[in-house]
Structure 1
Amino acid sequence: MILQQHSILFLAIFFLSLIGGHESIKFSCNRTCGAKHLPYPFGFSASCDIHLNCSQNGDMLINEFPVQIVGQDTIKINLEPRCDRPIEALRSLSTKNYAPKSTNAILLNNCTSGFSPCNIPSISVRTHFESLNCSNNSSLSCFSRADSANGFFDYNMANISQCKYLLSSISAESFAGSAVSLEIQIMELRWWLQGDCRCSEDAICNQVESPAGPGFRCHCRDGLAGDGYLAGVGCRKDAGCNPAKYLTGRCGAGARPAVFLGGIVVAAVGVGLGLVCCLVRRNSISKAKSFRKLHRAEAADINIPIYPYKEIEKATNSFSEKQRIGTGAYGTVYAGKLSSDSWVAIKRIKHRDVDSIDQVFNEIKLISSVSHPNLVRLLGCSIENDEQILVYEFMPNGTLCQHLQRVRGDGLCWPVRLTIATETAKAIAHLHSAVDPPIYHRDIKSSNILLDFDLKSKVADFGLSRHGMTDISHISTVPQGTPGYLDPQYHQDFHLSDKTDVYSFGVVLVEIITAKKVLDFSRPQDEVNLAFSCY
């Protein structure tokens, strides 16, 4: 018993000695919320330098708003649309340690008069918030200032007293004064610590002119890791750092060896080796498959970036439902950010047969062989982990079908419809005439016509596309496509030609003119198929 007590006392003294030299550690600051742990200066108790809330479910909150990301410079919070959220909720987001960025498009409702500027086109605002049916939706106002002097939202210029409610927010990334990517129902806050710089000697101090007065943030210099704060863990070398010094926040040259930590490390390694032995066979098989696929990609002359699966998984937050933007017969599409930090559309292809990787390679070669302003660009792929994933440019305004059916927006005016029809025709003509051999899309439909930020159209989804032949008028293949758009002649004789796409485009034109569904079983029997009802 005495030996056991001495052992416990020894361990207590040992661990206290590791952290005792760091006078500024605040033992009373709780930095854990459920499964989430935040670094200095954030925490979930009143004694923390920047105090966030923690719900009973383990969700991080700022006031009533869920926290999505706590970053090195900013905090992103979710703002679910609400018609009756008091305008005071917006002011409560400005504190002594954080405030909304000026590039947010703040959406306010029930305003006595509108105001400007807003760097988000009104069509994009209506597209994402028209389904709310607020009593005074006509008085919806949007405010943002990409050129704000200090980078923070200016309450005086917005004159928010003219509005009663905070509806939602759109976080916008801008370039040359124009918004280039949008995060809907998200508000981005800039954070800081008040006062003069209190950074470690290996950190850079970034001064912040905040609405609450002078502030600062610390960043470790290149080659060093840590938070950079004197009251945090400071900065340390990225590799080779002594564990004892890491706990005290003083990693770097001259760190004293901690001999007795070696025993702990050895024990941990022993346990790890046991796990490694159990997993080595599975990992080797997985790596072999990935190597074979990569080798086949090189052999197939795939000349687009091949992304690691882990990077794709991270970009989609493990294929989160919150980031799903579409589902089709051949795969699911997610919004995500890759290393370039810009939004992309990530298509996770369903397995269509035992060895569909060859089909994917064919699709990649076909899509990457064409370039046209009205065809969606393929940016890369991933073929690891038995997954087949294609990465496309992101189209923020959804599909033509969604706009015609008013799932997004209040419909499209005639000039916009005519422009979309013209641009789609140019894309199809390019595939049929400017490419040798020609490409037959085989799935032209309004849900495969995507709209960019300016509502310019781009034809997408080449999953069914095939090369045609220049020396014969058609090729024979099993008819595939979407009911309502499928060429009856092709369905009857299996002869695929450019006329197949032309027929489908004709159906799209009828859709554009009438804004009716292609197939609608609520219509009379002879009008269920939109194309046949026009005869």
Structure 2
Amino acid sequence: MLKLGCSRLLLGGHVLLLCLSASWMLAAADVPAGHRRGCPAKCGDVDIPFPFGIGDECALDGFQLSCETVKGVNRPFSKDFEVTNISVPEGTVRVKTLISWQCYDPATGNTAYSDASSNFSGTNFWISEAENKVIVIGCNTLAYMLSSSYVIGCLSTCEEPLENVLCSGNGCCQAEVPKDVRLYRAYFNVDYDNSQTWRSQNSSCSYMAVMERAALHFRPSYVTGRVFSDTYGGKVPVVLNWQIRPWTCEVARQNASTYACVSSNSECLNSTNEQGYRCRCSDGYQGNPYITDGCQDIDECLVNANRCGLEMICTNTPGNYSCSCHPGKNGRCVPPPSTAVTVSTPPAMLVVGPSVGIVIFVTVVACACLIQQRRKLHHMKSEYFEQHGGVILLEKMKSESKQGIVFKIFSEQELQQATNMFSEERVLGRGGHGTVYKGILKNNVEVAVKRCKTINEKYKKEFGKEMIILSQINHKNIVKLLGCCLEVEVPMLVYELVPNGTLYHLIHDNHGQRISLVARLGIAHESAEALSYLHSGVSTQILHGDVKSSNILLDADHKAKVSDFGASILAPNDESQFVTLVQGTCGYLDPEYMQTCQLTDKSDVYSFGVVLLELLTGKKPFNLDSYGEEKSLSMMFLSAMKANKLEEILDDEIKDEDNMDIFYEIAELAKQCLDMCGENRPPMKEVAEKLDRLREVIQQHPWVQQQQNLEEIESLLGEPLASSPTATVSGEYFSIEKKVVNRLQSGR
């Protein structure tokens, strides 16, 4: 009762202050941001704050807008996108983007499509993953967003009655927007439901859009006719983040003529997206940091006249305020909490007693609140732990401890300490499923901590069981799962740290480093062995679900280790356990999976086939900026094979006309992996055996021995010697020998 009474007393005394404070925050958010003199402050009813502006002279480079008349009303546009709101403090801009649709015409029996796209590449903008969602509306509609790096979407079905207004699968489904997306195209999978039962359910149209999550208010009527498109006028709002490019704060400050944070009392913030920065007004100031004197002091006393209470005087100071007693009070006044107080020095006898009482009172209340918060936090962590199957996991660990399984359940505090509170400096990589941090445990063991974004609600309770199975994986070419943390909303995984980067970076960002065919075949064989083990070497088959070169790590000896089981699921036991959320990495996705929504071991085989192509060609799996078949590496490869032009797409580093038979054997294996029908693809065990045989053959080849000799010489001398990657020409080889002899004779 004492605790409750004290809390009520404190809240009762300051509830007005809290409300006024909230009102001030809203008022501050509505303060018009500044613009350059002589430049339009508005276009229609939309404020245009600098660095945005109408025309080149009124905006920073990349923030130019045009003011156009649409149906008699002025509207601002950024290229083809109508702008509806700009926020300088939040670093966001809202634009309208087209809705993608497919509509069936019963009169003609045809289905029309409109697959819209949005492209912000090469601009200061990208799609906010926090403020937007991928939305699919319709009956039996499978649609997805295709970007340069990701494919993500979902399957919307219809179950009578359509009363669900949460967009959770019945008539409407939604998926998270990946991080760092600047361009995307919407696609409908027309082959998903051949019976097209959605026609008979009074649903003539289906829709797909990337849109602001707060703007969607799903109604059952959206799945019938053109209601959804008509409601939003054919376009939906999307929130974009923006930044000043292309420098970090440290670099930008070095050039005063281009540094954008020109207002005094402003600060520079590095972008979390990529190299770039934004500006903000310092605490206690508001306005526009991008214009001179744009950040103005907030008069806290004017905003809230009762900020210091009835017994004290509020005095505004630059960036802050102070509270002092009225004349004659001699310091006998009680300030509200969290204020800067200026009082005259009273006689000690008048102050000691009341001060001690106040201190004791505040201490008791603070301790009571702290205890309550700790209890609440402990209860919440316990709930998360139980939801994620932690109890089952503990029981399994105890029963199987005799088998020597090393697996630990970490606390959130342990992982916070290991990663320096998940510092940006510790980030090893980001992906569609989460962010990976470098961690150092108390025993100085280096680990990789994966902080996942979301977890499928369907598998929450099975998470503990899955952890037990994954912890039993023991293969030299698979990253070892060391433990997990379950007392958080989304579980975190702890893996062994593999220090030498990814296969993707080795192939595409190697900065001139030469990768021999032998090395490439070795990595391919080791990766295939790992996937073969997951598919057939454990008691319960495990599907990886996201096989790609960036999920193949390399250790200090350049041995492959398959990682990132964020997309993996235990193999389903019956047909009801289909995956209804389509997600994966663009260029690697099994086309059969896109049609059926069913992940199988042959889906991993297809993705591995794309990795083989990367190793053969040195090209990226997908390029949205290209045209036709050149967009997809697999399509380009299959076309080259059909035209007998494999040599034209091989990586120049490994190309050798005298050994095309080896390349054709590898290419034939990749072609089998990429078969459109999953049943025709070879199992991973067969793929691994074929790659092992090819590696043995190529290691015995004379030109491989020459290449290895060259690499040893280059390693000793510290620089490349050959003008060609393979050095198969005897004259060149002898000239290299002569160069080495000269080096030795000169004592270098």
- TM (norm. structure 1) is 0.46
Instruction: Indicate the structure with greater helix content.
Output: 2
Greater radius of gyration (CA)? 2
- TM (norm. structure 2) is 0.34
